[in-house]
Amino acid sequence: MIRILDRLVFTTFIRLFVLVLAACPPLFIIGDIAEKLDDYIDRGLTGSEVAQAYLYQLPLFIQWSFPIAALLATVFTVHSMTVHREIVGAKAGGISFHRLIAPILVAGVGLTVIALGLSEVVPRGNRISAQILRSETPGRSWRSDFVYRSEAGLTWQVSRLTASDGRMTGLVLERPPTEDQPGMHVLADAASFSDAEGWTLSQGYLRTLSADSTERTVEFDRMVMQGVTERPEELLEAPRQPEEMTYAEIDRLARIVERTGGNARELLVKREQKISIPVATLVIILFGAPLATSNKRGGAAYGIGLSLATVLVYIMMLRVSGALGEAGALSPMMAAWLPNGLFAIAALFFMARVRT
């Protein structure tokens, strides 16, 4: 009997989850288009370009829908069993409430794993979507008036770069001094790239600054930059938003910012949220299951109202804690995981109060 009951609970939950998951992304898309429609018109984007961009963003909207769909599926599954006295019947047969919802928790663990996998897929889709919506051409061959910071802490300021012939004009290179190597400031009229030598600068000045504040300036006609490995194609990449980067990419960028004395708190909070938000799927299931045991016959209105209130509270807490983390009032780890922690504590409290 217990296996039949497990299958019933599991299939009911999954069916409701898939139904809500299919319904949520179109709502997100419609809302996002309504908010940004004027911008798309001003940029001259066509309907097909906007549709293509949102197609690449679909994994993002699916990921956003996971906690909502999981919560609604949990609430409707448990509340329906409560109203129809199925939970009472299970308890009469010696099956506790905690054992009864075990299939939902198992499904929640699986959905959390899928959501974590989506967190690595979403940035790639967002990246392509952003290129379309910013009217950028993927694989472009030139870029002008930009700044690029390498992983080694070298900052490039370039007037124009063409990747087809590997040439730059109006180049400034800067590297702050460290204990191991002197600081560097280079001005060059032009630079060219070859696979054999890397970057070769022409007509410029090299200024070095040692840790003891000793300066030296040298004028050069031609200088090969040793140890600079960035290729022209890498320098063409436009700056990415945190939503367009994976966990590893955000972590690498944050380390570069920290090494150069910048403020990386926002990046570190976004990095931790790459994990904490998918895990919210399981936490919200734990939170919603005991609340749905109320025997009030609210039907669909009760389930939707409870779910919306829970999601709104979670989003508000996520934004507030994220802002505190970016301001330095909380550590990035604490800022990202505080909403999950508070909801988990509340879930354990409500679970303990459920009559088993």
Tell me the Cα Rg of the chain: 27
Phi, psi dihedral angles at 159 (to 5 degrees): -75, -45
For tokens 């290729």, the residue is 231
Question: Taking residues 85-105, what's their average pLDDT?
Answer: 84
Q: State residue 261's pLDDT score.
A: 64
Six token digits for residue 176: 């702050």
Q: State residue 117's pLDDT score.
A: 93
Please report which confidence band the pLDDT of residue 282 belongs to, taking 50, 70 and 90 as the band edges: very high
Do the beta carbons of residue 66 and residue 111 sit within 8 Å?
Answer: yes
Among residues 273, 352, 350, which one has the least CA distance to residue 306? Answer: 350
* Tens digit of each residue's pLDDT (9 = 90 or more) over 315-349: 899 999 999 998 888 999 999 999 999 999 998 88
Please report which confidence band the pLDDT of residue 37 belongs to, taking 50, 70 and 90 as the band edges: confident
SS3 content of the chain, % helix, strand, coil (to 5): 60, 15, 20
Q: State residue 302's pLDDT score.
A: 64
Query: Could you tell me which residues come within 8 angstroms of residue 203 by beta carbon, excluding any fewer than 6 positions away?
Result: 188, 189, 190, 220, 221
CB atoms within 10 A of CB 355: 9
Mean pLDDT of the chain, nearest integer: 85
Question: Taking residues 46-58, what's their average pLDDT?
Answer: 91
Q: Distance (Å, rounded) from C-alpha 133 to C-alpha 238?
A: 13
Q: Distance (Å, rounded) from C-alpha 76 to C-alpha 300?
A: 8
Percent of the chain with pLDDT over 90: 36
Q: What interhelical angle do 2-42 and 58-83 show, nearest 10?
A: 140
Q: Distance (Å, rounded) from C-alpha 63 to C-alpha 120?
A: 11
Q: State residue 14's pLDDT score.
A: 95
CB atoms within 10 A of CB 314: 22
Among residues 79, 73, 74, which one has the least CA distance to residue 16? Answer: 73
Q: Is the pLDDT of residue 114 over 90?
A: yes
Question: Taking residues 46-54, what's their average pLDDT?
Answer: 90
Please report which confidence band the pLDDT of residue 305 belongs to, taking 50, 70 and 90 as the band edges: confident
Which of 21-25, 163-167, 194-198, 253-257 has the lowest average pLDDT?
A: 253-257
Angle (nearest 5°) at CA 334 between 351 and 347 = 5
